[in-house]
Amino acid sequence: MIASDYIVLSALLAASLTTAIVMFVRQGRARATAGDADAPAVFLFEDQEIRDMTPAARDILPPDARTRDDVEEFLSVAFPNLLLQAIGPERVDRVGRHPGWHLIAETRNGILRVEVRGMRDLAMTRHARDLALLDAISAHAPQLIWQQAPSGRVIWSNAAYRTTVASLPQCDGVLFPGLARSREVSAMRLQPDGCDKRWFDVTTALSEGRLTCFATETTALVSADENRREYVNTLGRTFGDLSTGLAIFDKDRQLKMFNPALLEMSKLPFAFLSTRPRIDTVFDRMRELQMMPEPKDYTTWREQFIAVETGARQGTYCENWPLPDGQTFRVTGRPHPDGAFALLFEDITAELSLTRRFRTEIETSQAVLDSLPDALAVFTHTGTLVMTNVAYATLWGDDPQSLAHRSMSTEVETWRERTVDTPVWREFLGNGRHISDCKGWSRDVLMTDGRPLRCDASSLGGGMTLVRFSLQNIPSPIIRKLTQPDPAIRIRGG
């Protein structure tokens, strides 16, 4: 049962107690003023409406009874199965559960007249039943209910209150003696005297000089709230040390948490973020400060904003925001439970600058390699081809842009196909991955078109190997003829 349910129960109990007291006061007034204690109570009804009633009926009827059905329900204690709406012109004469309870009713000209004798005993029975019901409710209520005199002394309490007092002997029978000074309806969270480990939500109401109090123990709630606060503080201290800007929005799109890095990166003032603005308000302010990419028009801006929020809720948003001042933010969206989501802002300006510089250096290095007349190839320590130049592609007839899955053995196979058969390549494969151990390697081979080729291999840093191919002077036609196969020549061997 939540706190609101306890408050409603408290109000119902207070109202019922008040009704019972009022009824007893009216009953006493009727006995004191009426000459005949057994004066009949007469009701006149037109349809559901009570048109008139005698003083005896008015004094004894509950104040909340305003219709024919209310009177019927009140009289059903003495006259079971009573149906006033079924009474017609014929006179109805009934005796109730007690011989002194007598009812006479009839309808004339649309007016129902009900006369009841023995009303005083009926009211007392009804009050006794109501008080028994209230006593049962208060006895089994988990909420603490009690009354205090102006002096602070407890003059009545229910079982829950007495059980709690018994568990706290230091309270000396009174949980909250300071409540006696209360003079109006109020709700507060208090600790019993001498006990700093238990908490109660207490509601008080002053009536006729007595203070009626209702209390619900909230120790677990207070403990959970303290744990939550400590957890939030821990998160705050952790987030405070992050260089990444963090903004967490709840399911209603309102900012719930942010860290100092967000203030520094977004240039949003603390006073603004502390008001817990909505995400669209945050983005509008960031746009004014030129901390978001400027769209071509407002429609594009709205579409971009919706894309950010939707992507963040789904965990799919990750974009780079180039800003007018040259900075670049990487913005990532992360979904949270219950529809909440977080936005992470990373300043990647230095990272992009470094990447661009490396790319420029690589492109420059490649341009330098391409300008060299010699064919060059670079292999890693595992024998994977990682770099060539234009001269290499021209010499061996391959695509210089395609280096994927090319190893030293596949490249050597290409070299073997385009050169005269020689054991040099087998020797290279045997030593190619250990060039650093033999301080370089150099051999001469002959291309199939007769051109002599110098092959040099040397070690680079990180275990890499550089292979360099240098074409020598173009051979004479006679040498080219001698190096080409002649179909007229047959080598016969055993």
State the SS3 of the chain.
Answer: CCHHHHHHHHHHHHHHHHHHHHHHHHHHHHHHHCCCCCCCEEEEEECCEEEEECHHHHHHCCCCCCEHHHHHHHHCCCCCCCCHHHCCCCCEEEECCCCCCEEEEEEECCEEEEEEECHHHHHHHHHHHHHHHHHHHHHHCCCEEEEECCCCCEEEECHHHHHHHHHCHHHCCCCCHHHHHCCCCEEEEECCCCCCCCCEEEEEEEECCEEEEEEEECHHHHHHHHHHHHHHHHHHHHHHCCCCEEEEECCCCEEEEECHHHHHHHCCCHHHHCCCCEHHHHHHHHHHCCCCCCCCCHHHHHHHHHHHHHHHHHCCCEEEEECCCCCEEEEEEEECHHHCEEEEEEECHHHHHHHHHHHHHHHHHHHHHHHCCCEEEEECCCCEEEEECHHHHHHHCCCCCCCCCCEHHHHHHHHHHCECCCCHHHHHHHHHHHHHHHCCEEEEEEECCCCEEEEEEEECHHHCEEEEEEECCCCCHHHHHHHCCCCCCCCCCC
Tell me: pLDDT of 2 over 50: no
Report pLDDT for 324. Answer: 87
For 35-54, what is the mean pLDDT? Answer: 83
Tell me: pLDDT of 489 over 70: no
Residue at 133 is within a domain? no
Tell me: pLDDT of 16 over 60: no
Residue at 248 is within a domain? yes
Confidence at 444, pLDDT banded by 50, 70, 90: very high
* Lowest-pLDDT range of 84-88, 297-301, 303-307, 483-487: 483-487
Report pLDDT for 44. Answer: 94
Residue at 228 is within a domain? no
| Domain co-membership, 116 together with 166 | no
Q: What are phi and psi of 235, to 5 degrees?
A: -60, -40
The closest of 217, 158, 185, 229 to 3, measured between CA atoms, is 217
Tell me: pLDDT of 227 over 70: yes
For 426-443, what is the mean pLDDT? Answer: 71
Higher pLDDT, 487 or 464: 464
Residue at 236 is within a domain? no
Report pLDDT for 437. Answer: 54
* Lowest-pLDDT range of 110-114, 343-347, 485-489: 485-489
Report pLDDT for 127. Answer: 63
Integer CA distances (angstroms), 471 to 111, 228, 443, 444, in order: 129, 77, 12, 10
Q: What is the dihedral of CA 377, 381, 383, 384, to 10 degrees?
A: -70
Tell me: pLDDT of 226 over 60: yes
Report pLDDT for 238. Answer: 74
| Domain co-membership, 19 together with 54 | yes
| Domain co-membership, 409 together with 300 | no
| Domain co-membership, 124 together with 150 | no
| Domain co-membership, 197 together with 264 | no
Report pLDDT for 403. Answer: 67
Longest dimension (CA), the chain: 157
Report pLDDT for 27. Answer: 44
| Domain co-membership, 21 together with 77 | yes
| Domain co-membership, 36 together with 68 | yes
Residue at 493 is within a domain? no
| Domain co-membership, 428 together with 332 | no
Confidence at 300, pLDDT banded by 50, 70, 90: low
For 54-73, what is the mean pLDDT? Answer: 85
Query: What is the extent of the structural domain holding 22?
Result: 3-128
Which of the listed residues 128, 155, 186 is the one where a domain comes to its end? Answer: 128
Which of the listed residues 347, 377, 410 is the one where a domain comes to its end? Answer: 347
Please state, rounded to an integer, the average pLDDT across all residues of the chain: 79
Report pLDDT for 57. Answer: 86
* Lowest-pLDDT range of 20-29, 208-217, 321-330, 340-349: 20-29
| Domain co-membership, 418 together with 464 | yes
Q: Give 210: exposed, middle or buried? Use CB within 10 Å, 0-12, 13-18, 19+.
A: middle
For 465-491, what is the mean pLDDT? Answer: 66
Confidence at 434, pLDDT banded by 50, 70, 90: low
Residue 472 corresponds to which amino acid? Q
For 8-12, what is the mean pLDDT? Answer: 45
Report pLDDT for 120. Answer: 66
Share of the chain above pLDDT 70, in %: 78
Tell me: pLDDT of 106 over 90: yes
| 310-355 pLDDT per residue, tens | 877 777 888 888 888 889 999 988 888 788 888 899 999 888 888 8
Residue with tokens 């006073």: 271
Tell me: pLDDT of 178 over 90: no
Number of domains in the chain: 4
Cα 14 to Cα 17: distance, rounded to the nearest angstrom: 5
Cα 254 to Cα 307: distance, rounded to the nearest angstrom: 17
Report pLDDT for 299. Answer: 64
Q: Compute CA 359 distance to the chain's CA centroid, rounded to the nearest angstrom.
A: 42
| Domain co-membership, 118 together with 10 | yes
Report pLDDT for 487. Answer: 56
Residue at 264 is within a domain? yes
Tell me: pLDDT of 136 over 80: no
CB contact at 8 A, 73 and 142: no
| Domain co-membership, 316 together with 251 | yes
Residue at 37 is within a domain? yes
| Domain co-membership, 329 together with 374 | no
Report pLDDT for 183. Answer: 61
Pairing status of strand 102-108 against strand 111-117? antiparallel
Which of the listed residues 280, 313, 347 is the one where a domain comes to its end? Answer: 347
* Lowest-pLDDT range of 343-352, 463-472, 473-482: 473-482
Share of the chain above pLDDT 90, in %: 19
Tell me: pLDDT of 480 over 70: no
Confidence at 475, pLDDT banded by 50, 70, 90: low
The CATH number of whichever domain residue 298 belongs to comes to: 3.30.450.20
The two tokens of residue 235 are 């998160």
Residue at 234 is within a domain? no
The closest of 446, 386, 375 to 416, measured between CA atoms, is 446
Confidence at 438, pLDDT banded by 50, 70, 90: low
Tell me: pLDDT of 280 over 70: yes
The CATH number of whichever domain residue 51 belongs to comes to: 3.30.450
Report pLDDT for 455. Answer: 93
The closest of 464, 469, 480 to 424, measured between CA atoms, is 469
* Lowest-pLDDT range of 146-155, 379-388, 390-399: 146-155
